[in-house]
Amino acid sequence: MKSKLIRAGIFTAIIGALLLAHYIYLGSKPLVNNAARKGAGFSSALLANGATAYQAANIAGDKTVVVLVGDMVLNSAVWENTFNELTKTGMAVLRYDLFGSGYSARPRGAYDAEFFANQLESLANKVLPGRNLILVGLGDGGAIAAAYAAKQAQRVKKLILIDSVGIEHKAPLRARLMAVPAIGRYFGRMFGGGVAKSVIADSFSTTPAPAVLARLEAPAATKGYADALRASYRHWQRSNNRQPFL
Highest mean pLDDT among 18-32, 154-168, 227-241: 154-168
Q: What is the DSSP letter of 38?
A: H
E-assigned strand segments in 108-204:
133-138, 156-162
Q: 56: helix, coil or strand?
A: strand
Q: What is the pLDDT of residue 83?
A: 96
What pLDDT is recorded for position 228? 86
According to the per-residue pLDDT averaged within each range, which of 18-32, 57-71, 219-233 is highest? 57-71
| Cβ(99)–Cβ(115) below 8 Å | yes
According to the model, what pLDDT value does residue 175 have? 66
Is pLDDT at 145 greater than 90 in this prediction? yes
* Structure-derived torsion over alpha carbons of residues 107, 112, 117, 120, reported in degrees to the nearest 10: 40
- pLDDT reading at 8 higher than 80: no
Contact 219, 196 (CB under 8 A): yes
Percentage of the residues of the chain whose pLDDT score is greater than 70 = 73
